[in-house]
Amino acid sequence: MTASTVEIQQSAINTIRTLSMDAVQQANSGHPGTPMALAPVAYSMWADHLKYDPANPNWIARDRFVLSCGHASMLLYSLLHLAGVSKTDKNGNPVEGEAVSLDDIRNFRQMQSPCAGHPEFGYAAGIETTTGPLGQGLGNSVGMAIAGKWLAATYDRPGFELFGFDTYTICSDGDIMEGIGCEAASLAGHLKLSNLCWVYDDNEITIEGRTELAFSEDVAGRFESLGWRVITVTDANDLVSLDAAYAKFRETTDKPTLIIVKSIIGFGAPNKQDTSGAHGSPLGDEEISLAKEAYGWEHEKFAVPADVIEHFQSKTGKRGADAYAQWAEKYAEYSKKFADEAAEIELMGKDELPKGWEKSLPTFDADAKGMATRASSGKVLNAVAGSIPYLIGGSADLAGSNKSNIDAEGAGHFGADDYKGKNFHFGIREHVMAAIGNGMSLCGIRPYVATFFVFTDYLRPSLRLSSIMHQPVLYIMTHDSIGLGEDGPTHQPVEHMAACRAIPNVLVMRPGDANEVSKCYEAALSNSKRPSVLVLSRQAMPTLDRSKYGSADGVTKGAYTVLDTDGTPDAILIGTGSELQYCVQAAEKLAGDGVKARVVSMPCWKLFDEQSADYRESVLPAAVTKRVAVEAGIKMGWEKYIGNEGVFVGMEGFGASAPAEELYEHFGITAANIVEKVKSM
């Protein structure tokens, strides 16, 4: 290696460092220490190993880079600027301009800048996922690695190895400590995801001080026991060792790789390892001046030497452009030979579903006995999965209860011996299951994940990120209420509908019979920019006779009239899920007593709120103030629909352990109680 090569490498590394210092200082907010320490680690990865074309940042076969320690966001923004990553339009196509300009960096952490405090997906091309809550990026990276394996196994053909890619992730002590990180590592090792590389910044510092305050485990030993290859680089500034470590990862074919890098946070600040300021706050002008002096940096603030840009163009840019050109030529040939497969790839790239997929949605005959909505969900899932080849997913060890298996011949089970399988087994790892779903979705797959509804408590942070990133992950949540019966209060979700409904941009749907389930799938899968939560029952409920009751098509509008009256109703009964049947029964009893009660099914508040004022008035006329809402959950939020004079029939506390029918009687969620409430008004 020549002296000039060493000089330009060091200049590139120091540019990353100084941009990070200057941006944090100007914002008077942020974390400069980790970008300073990890600049050589990220430089080596991007300059010599990452398969990434800055001119085509959404190329499906690109390697993914995840900065799981999102507080080090200036590391990513500096890389995107220096690599010259292209700006993209709303459809993800490259357009003129930079994804991250120098002005964007100058406005780090300010309104309208894509350089937010933590990386936010969608703010700029090259930000592959939203990271900030520690450990989430690790879960996402496993989902991305799974997507790479599945895409390659499903769409590659002999002579056309086009769709696999590697996923590189930089993570911190915090990521490694978080429980979701351990879940992710465990599953990745089990699945032998050899296309996954985590780089662990072992700097022994957290916000409160040295990691020895709360962390003393043998990380290398843990990961080796989880089935990972572990490589240690003792100095984050040793480019030769870093290069060799990345090369060893790319040679590994039977397990994921953890590269443990020993770094000094805020490296470059003279004569000390900063345990506070460099981690979580600006360094200050004096400290920055001393650090730049130690680097031999004689440029002004926010300086980007021209030769550094040229260096990145000759490394990341040229290697990526060459790789993309070769791929594009091969893909053009592939498209001619395998037109159907190419068409599916194109749809995934545009976040679209095959035309006419909704024709596969089943309808169900009237049935007084009916079935549990988890059972009808299983039937609908299997019907639509046949029309959407990239609708794949699984359960956190509850597939039999969730009815979430794809049963079609050849669907298979995803694992180290079959990366083409469509059925996933996440194990008892609800939180990382959802984070993995996000990672798969970010790669164009339409994933679904399943568990009991009560365990949305365990996966809520990842569900929230599904929403923030506008990812159409489908959450199949069964055992929706006290109706699950004998398992008792720990397993009976009571406050969970309110909690999930509180998350912006999430479609929370609780269907009242089999045909509503089918229409909920239509609403969920038609939305490509937000997640959906299907909340499904364990117990059976009648399949309504739609020749007598309103069409289930109204489900896609969030609420609709199931049973109407002649003229203005005296009262309106609003039900969801398994309680809809009690509203119908109550209305029919009230009619015999001369009380006109309209029954409204409201499976999804959010969809209803998005309808026109005229439609909402047609379903819930303001003049009818006598209203009863019925749901086997808490009242929170129902006030909006029942008003000051309305009554809620549901839960005020936790459930109990008993058969479902006894619980409903005990808690007063019955047709008889609904009738009594109406008459009392």
Q: Kindly list the catalytic residues.
A: 430
Amino acid (1-letter code) at residue 71 = H
Q: Is residue 457 classed as helix, strand or coil in its secondary structure?
A: helix
What is the biggest distance separating any 2 CA atoms in the chain, rounded to whole angstroms?
Answer: 96
Which H, E and C letters describe 317-373, residue by residue?
HHHHHHHHHHHHHHHHHHHHHCHHHHHHHHHHHCCCCCCCHHHHCCCCCCEEEEEEH
- Identity (one letter) of the amino acid at 542? P
CA–CA dist 642, 627 (Å, integer): 5
On whether the CB atoms of residues 561 and 599 are closer than 8 A, the answer is: yes
Distance of alpha carbon 394 from alpha carbon 374, whole angstroms: 14
Beta strand pairing call for 532-535 and 474-478: parallel
Amino acid letter, 89: D
* Per-residue tokens: 498: 């309110």
DSSP-assigned states of every residue in 641-657: HHTTT-EEES-SS---S
Angle (nearest 5°) at CA 281 between 278 and 283: 55
CB-facing half-sphere around the CA of 604: CA atoms within 13 A:
30
Entry field: residues in the chain: 681
Q: Do residues 436 and 188 make contact, with C-beta atoms less than 8 angstroms apart?
A: no
Look up residue 94 and give its DSSP letter.
E
393 in Cβ contact with 419 (< 8 Å):
no
Q: Which residue has the tokens 């002005």?
A: 103
Torsions phi, psi of 273, nearest 5? -105, 115
Helix (H) or strand (E) run with residue 278 in it? helix 277-280
What backbone phi and psi angles, to 5 degrees, belong to 364? -125, 140
